[in-house]
């Protein structure tokens, strides 16, 4: 349930959950020169965003982004946060009252493709097959039909990667022990 990213030449570990279903919003940074992990959040308070797991983390436009995730029970986030390394500050870029236009979710994927952030699929009480993009992390546009979604089945826990100027989506989970092994490509 936690996420990792390489940002400012360091490895960052964000959130997740631990035994007993305790959700986390702590942030750790690994410095290879020092061979040391350092908690960069206040151990008592954590990050300014809610504890969560199965969220998405990505580096985009020289900032570290955290998007969505499961907050507990049937509570799913659709908030978008970014960390500015120069200011050493987290900012929620979506309206705290409404979040992003996509529904709250977890086990979704986010990647950078064509100089935009892309968000694909995930879970809430259903399996999502919607595809969203943002040029700035603030304004989001759905490219799929809201009524039907993408041509691929809804899923979470899938993988995405950019390869040869194409966005690749592979596999995932669709519930009831239904593991997907399909491959989809977008140019």
Determine the Cα–Cα distance for residues 154 and 72; give it in Å rounded to an integer: 21
Looking at every residue in the chain, the average pLDDT score rounds to 96
Task: Compute the average pLDDT of residues 73-82.
Answer: 96
Res 177: pLDDT = 87
At the top level of CATH, which class does the domain 3-151 belong to?
mainly beta
Determine if the pTM surpasses 0.75.
yes
Residue 175 has pLDDT above 90, yes or no: no
Res 156: pLDDT = 97
Res 176: pLDDT = 86
User: Taking the domains of the chain in order of start, what are their residue ranges?
Assistant: 3-151
Task: Compute the average pLDDT of residues 56-79.
Answer: 97
Task: Compute the average pLDDT of residues 86-105.
Answer: 97
Three-state secondary structure call for residue 178: coil
Label residue 60 by pLDDT band (50, 70, 90). Answer: very high
Res 35: pLDDT = 96
Label residue 166 by pLDDT band (50, 70, 90). Answer: very high
Task: Compute the average pLDDT of residues 31-57.
Answer: 96
Label residue 59 by pLDDT band (50, 70, 90). Answer: very high
Determine the Cα–Cα distance for residues 44 and 128; give it in Å rounded to an integer: 34
Hey, what are 156's tokens? Answer: 């979470």
Res 101: pLDDT = 98
Provide, rounded to the nearest whole percent, the portion of the chain with pLDDT above 90. 96
Residue 28 has pLDDT above 90, yes or no: yes
Determine the Cα–Cα distance for residues 77 and 23; give it in Å rounded to an integer: 13
Task: Compute the average pLDDT of residues 144-161.
Answer: 96
Could you give the C-alpha distances from 135 to 10, 30, 115, 132, in angstroms and in order? Answer: 25, 29, 7, 11
Res 135: pLDDT = 99
């Amino acid at each position: 349930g936690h996420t990792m990213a390489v940002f400012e030449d360091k490895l960052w570990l964000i959130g997740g959950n631990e035994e007993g279903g305790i959700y986390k919003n702590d942030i750790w940074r690994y410095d290879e020169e020092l061979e040391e992990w350092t908690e960069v959040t206040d151990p008592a308070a954590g990050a300014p965003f809610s504890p969560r797991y199965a969220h998405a983390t990505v580096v985009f436009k020289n900032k570290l982004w955290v998007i969505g995730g499961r907050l507990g029970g049937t509570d799913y986030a659709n908030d978008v946060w970014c960390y500015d390394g120069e200011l050493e500050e987290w900012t929620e870029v979506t309206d705290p009252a409404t979040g992003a236009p996509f529904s709250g979710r977890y086990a979704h994927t986010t990647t950078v493709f064509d100089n935009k952030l892309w968000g694909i699929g995930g879970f809430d009480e259903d399996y999502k097959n919607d595809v969203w993009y943002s040029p700035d992390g603030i304004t989001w546009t759905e490219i799929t039909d809201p009524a039907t979604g993408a041509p691929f089945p809804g899923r979470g826990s899938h993988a995405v990667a950019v390869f040869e100027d194409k966005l690749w989506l592979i596999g995932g989970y669709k519930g009831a022990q239904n593991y997907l092994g399909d491959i989809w490509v977008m140019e």
